[in-house]
Structure 1
Amino acid sequence: MHSLLPYSIRCYNPSLTGDSDSKNKYALLDKIGQFDVYNLLKSYIDSHINFKIVEEHKQVFRFNSVVFNSDKRIIYGWLQVGMYGIKTDIINIDTGEVDFEKAVNNAEVINHFVYFYLPKNLNKGIALLHAHGLHGVKTLFFELFSKYFNQVTKLNLQMNPLSYEKAVNKWMDGNIVEIRLNKFDGWKDRTDALFNGGSNEHSLIIKSIKKGKISNAIGQFKDCLNKNSDTAKAIEVLSSHCSQVKTVVALGKQTRIFTVGNSEAHTMYSIEAPDELKLVDGNPEYTAIQEWCEEISTEFFNELFPGVVMYPSIEVP
């Protein structure tokens, strides 16, 4: 499963004058003292285009195919990360035979897409870090870049998770066209008739009914967040029969997948890749994931800074 993990980027500067309120002590991203966080990140990436070893974590990493758009102040590309230090066998899943042995000094390198928007005259930027399943790169990236940032500026960088609830408002009126139950354990007794029944499958997908070209939605996404709605009550029952409930929400021609139903899911922290995200050999296609990141970044920006122009430097007067 591919997903994006969203973070804010900002820098606390206790020496800033003015209001003593700590909220006003965050520096503008292009005025971190005499420095600009966009230029600092660009310099760091430029100096790490060849593989570097992180001995304490038994990892190697490098940046590859990175684009720097100074007009939009966005940076995106691959952060390639590999683990070494353990000898393993690599098997062919079709034959069950060992294709080759991975030695302790070999590293399996995985592509993680990273996307940063670092606007001028604002004190908060957006970072989207691509994860494969449970494997992400936030810890590695933040540990290394924040150390460099501190050495140069003598200040501390902050990266805090952004809840997708902050960017989800426009999806409230979207229609639920699928409900997906992961690790479904089957129906029991009184739940037999829910959504016209089910089956003892490991996973279960409940789809809206199509009549010709018209699809009758299961409900609206906002119904999931209204505990008194029939949709929310149904999801509460479904949650007790699986490990995770996901809804596929359609708004116009766009779709988005949201995790609902479990207490841990209400943070809406991890953003799951849409079904239409193009993959090449199991990896997201470069342009496809870049466009997806730009779409998600725009949603966050509009919620964080309502009424503010996102790319002022390229606006036509």
Structure 2
Amino acid sequence: MMIQSGIPVVIEGALEDSPSREWTLDSLEERVGGNEVHVRANTNCEDYRLGRKYNIRQTTFRDYITDIRKNNKRAKSSYLAVQNIKKAFPQIAADFTVPEYVGKVHGGPYLWIARQGHYEYCHFDADDGLLIMLQGTKNVRLFGCDVPSMYPNAKGTKGRTVQSQVNCDEPDLKMHPLFEGTKCYHCTLKPGEMLYIPAFWWHQVTSVEIAISINIFWGNAGSNDFLTKCMKPPIWPAFHHWILNIVEQNQDCPSFRRTLARLPEALYNFLKNQWHEEALPGQVEILVEAVKEYLGLEELPKDQSSGKHPPPFQIRGLLWRS
């Protein structure tokens, strides 16, 4: 199947029998209008377009949809993103079934509803993804998993994704000259279509019109297949960058030295939690050496703790996923 090739692919007609294909703003408002949601705010500013900063506000699904219909000032700076359907909208969870070819779910399914013209910052996710269009259309750009040509924000940027400094609508090639030679894959995703986004591929999504979509973060079946894939070319440099970004997120934490002292165990637990993967000793050793090299350490600190588990190596600053 093409989805195993590591190349983006659009899957047509995959939701013909799914009740979720009938979701509209009206039907969703009727069924889940009173549910609380967490909406991204300030999404029309430059810091958001470059993936640097956004805030979260709490509202009801009905109020968010009302703003979207009116296309008012608040709508133009808001985005209902990454809302866990099973938790935030249990009334409609049974309408969508994860496709059978998804190996192992890492997160989701999540609901996204965007206003017309919403620009989602260019970034990569540390998972394979399926973007599933229910209503409306989205333009998607994909750029592979090369890191230098996409000019990621400085290491330590908060959250689970790594964001690009490039404005894909108006790239500044004097500031980002390597971007000029980057190969771009492009598609317009229509209702009933699904886009496979390979893990660690940079992508930027713009809503052509009001859009309702679902996404799933996932990986290969098996206990080690996904991690093995990520530790080989062409993914390894982006995975390496992602791990070091999380190292930088944790550096100022009071417990970080104790985490370093038990880094092999902490990394094993981290990968188990994020991907449900069983890292092999040799894989953990490679990651430990990468962290030591980044921090300029010849050896890890001595373990002075008596706790059963090490302080967690964890993603910091992840803004609301319900």
If you compute each CA radius of gyration, which structure gives the higher value, 1 or 2? 1
Pairwise TM-score range, normalised by the shorter structure = under 0.3
The structure in which a higher percent of residues are strand is: 1
TM-score normalised by length of structure 2? 0.23
The structure in which a higher percent of residues are helix is: 2
